[in-house]
Structure 1
Amino acid sequence: MIKTRFGQYNGDSWEETCQLFLKKKYHLQDYQEMVAHSQGDLGIEGFTRTGLVFQCYCPDEEYESKKLYELQRDKITTDLGKLSKNKKELIKYFGDVKIKKWIFLTPVLRNKELISHCQQKAIEFKKKFEMKDLLDDEFDVLVQDEGFFVEEMLYVKAVLEEKIDVNVATPTVEEVIDWKQCEAESVQILFRKISKLFKGNSNAELYTNKYVDIIIRNFIKGQNVFDELRDNHPALLEKLVRIKSGIESHIEQELLLTTLQPKEFIQGIQSKYKSALESEAFGRMISYVLQEDVIKEAEADWLVRCPLDFVEGV
């Protein structure tokens, strides 16, 4: 298996994922999957009526960069060779469509020399006179990884019933200290608010200090999680932000009317956020860990920015 930022793949699962990507992304260009038959896949996984041709490849195990490049390079060379070998058969499927771009789909690209190899093969094939009736005059060979299909990821994950996760490290003690030094005013606000959670407790000062650090850690991690989602799952992030904003817009009113103690109110807000996520089917879309990170980020963010405060005496 190859592990990437979006998931884990072997040859079969990558091909399945590619077909879902391609059908979603290129349906308006009449994408057509080339189902393998007794004579093989003819060197392509599918094509569009606009002249795009796709071939998928994923090794079944992790390799260091040099070995991975060699495998990808050789696969490109072999499958492009099938265009010549299967030209007559391919024309039966393509009709008048000529190949403008032959695109090699692979989960990760770790060596830029693969791009150079694609360029060399494009030049080589454009010079082949016998390929003129199959290839466009501007024929090109490209390599694309999973990053080209970020927009389609939510759809694919839902279809495959895979949950999205984000691998973000928990902030270190040093990172928490640095944040406190840079955001002194916010730290004072947090101490004022969180002290109310432990009012009357014999260890109030100790618990307040610990919980302030927890909130700051959750805030830092949450922001890093959102950065990852912004880069890799923008559609998912947009939906999460919409739900968070909807809950936030009512917090101030609920605080004025609540009879709950601060600690109970926070637990209630967390529960409401979790229910909102589940009502939007996020429980099936994102991992438990990611869901918890998102909920904790909201609590921390509201405490830092002040939508979440507690009336004296409550």
Structure 2
Amino acid sequence: MEHNFRRTWDGIAWQRHAHILVQMRHGASNVQRVPDKVNGDAGLEFFTLDGCLYQCFAPEDPGNTPKTSSAMKQKATRDLPKLKEYEDTLAKLLCGLKCSRWILFCPVLDDKAVIAHVRAKGAEVAALGLSFLSADFEALVQSQDDFTAEAAKLRELPIGPNLLIAQPSEEEVTTQESTDLVVTLDGKLSRAYPLVTESKRAKIRRTYVKNHIKGGNTLAALKSEHPMLWERAWQTISAEESRLEMLGAAGEAAPAERLQESLSRIEEGLSKDLPHVAHSTLTAISAGTLSDWLMRCPLDFDGDK
């Protein structure tokens, strides 16, 4: 049974996410990551103390099944022989541990032929009698569908304010203030705050620009460190944007009040869909989303063109 998991990943993000899932399955203290900065990773991303060898792979075009299947087969063909090539290195790393499984861990698995290929290559390696492989050694292919329980637990983990978010620099803010998008923003702010002075409106505009940059950085950090939560946040934002585009922001309330209403709706939606994410993180995303809408025009006021 397939589940609605994110299919497209870049290699580094997938490796980080896979590491978390593997830690949740085997226990964090039972998983050893194999760094690749010095002489590569010897064909392993991480291994577990109960005898599993994991290698991660994120296909570039998961929507193209033949291309993806070919790439996964090639990955196994390249990396399984590394168990022999790096036998001495791996034996030292494993330190007497007997391993019974080599697992190619991918975001998706759509083609049974990949399983047959990986198992055949695994049988070839098993026949070599490597010192750190057990007699029942097998090579497998697994995907997110094999880690549904771990994924469900991951969604419920609290994400505190310690998410590493890049703060907007003055240079970034100044650069973005000169773009056409901010010209659009400034026009809307002049209607939302018609009684404030030019200098006051400039300060308000700068705050929106900072929020736009910080919101984007927050979503980028969430996508990198907690991609499943990022996907949920993105779905919430997209749904609210679609509602806004369909119904518009028209009404008897003043523009400033409509801005507050839109901000509250975003925060409320995110709070419901991401109840375990720190309020400060949700606030940064909400404020950034509102700024983005004002610049791109999903949020419009009467008389805007």
TM-score, normalised to structure 2's length? 0.55
CA distance in 1 between counterparts of 2:298 and 2:232 reads 20
Change (3 A) 1:169 1:227: closer
Change (3 A) 1:151 1:240: farther
Superposition map of 1:103-114 within 5 A? none
SS of alignment partner, residue 249 of structure 2:
helix
Match of 2:188 in 1: 193
Equivalenced residues, count? 209
Change (3 A) 1:78 1:304: closer
CA distance in 1 between counterparts of 2:176 and 2:101 reads 52
Match of 1:306 in 2: 297
Match of 1:269 in 2: 262
Superposition map of 1:52-91 within 5 A? 52=52, 77=92, 79-83=94-98
Identity, % of aligned positions: 21
What is the aligned counterpart of 2:281 among 290, 310, 313? 290
CA distance in 2 between counterparts of 1:229 and 1:53 reads 28
Please state how far the C-alpha of 1:271 moved relative to its aligned partner.
Answer: 1.1
Q: Does 1:225 align with 2:218?
A: yes
Q: AA paired with 1:260?
A: A
CA contact (8 A) 1:171 1:221 kept: yes
CA distance in 1 between counterparts of 2:103 and 2:228 reads 28
Change (3 A) 1:260 1:77: same
CA contact (8 A) 1:190 1:303 kept: yes
Please state how far the C-alpha of 1:238 moved relative to its aligned partner.
Answer: 2.2
Greater C-alpha Rg: 1
SS of alignment partner, residue 164 of structure 2:
coil
TM-score, normalised to structure 1's length? 0.53
Change (3 A) 1:189 1:152: farther
SS of alignment partner, residue 290 of structure 2:
helix
List alignment gaps of at least 5 residues for structure 1. Answer: 1-5, 7-14, 24-42, 55-73, 84-97, 104-121, 139-149
CA distance in 1 between counterparts of 2:138 and 2:235 reads 47
Match of 1:215 in 2: 208
CA contact (8 A) 2:100 2:134 kept: no
Match of 2:164 in 1: 167
Match of 1:36 in 2: none
CA contact (8 A) 1:53 1:102 kept: yes
SS of alignment partner, residue 134 of structure 1:
strand
SS of alignment partner, residue 184 of structure 2:
helix
List alignment gaps of at least 5 residues for structure 2. Answer: 1-12, 14-18, 28-46, 55-88, 105-124, 140-146
Change (3 A) 1:76 1:171: farther
Q: AA paired with 1:298?
A: T
CA distance in 2 between counterparts of 1:166 and 1:175 reads 21
SS of alignment partner, residue 81 of structure 1:
coil
Match of 2:121 in 1: none
Q: AA paired with 2:135?
A: L
Change (3 A) 1:255 1:75: same
CA contact (8 A) 1:46 1:53 kept: no
CA distance in 2 between counterparts of 1:16 and 1:232 reads 10
Match of 2:174 in 1: 177
Q: AA paired with 2:183?
A: Q
Change (3 A) 1:278 1:22: same
CA contact (8 A) 2:102 2:138 kept: no
CA distance in 1 between counterparts of 2:298 and 2:138 reads 60
Match of 1:101 in 2: 102
CA distance in 2 between counterparts of 1:293 and 1:17 reads 27
CA contact (8 A) 2:266 2:286 kept: yes
CA contact (8 A) 1:176 1:217 kept: yes
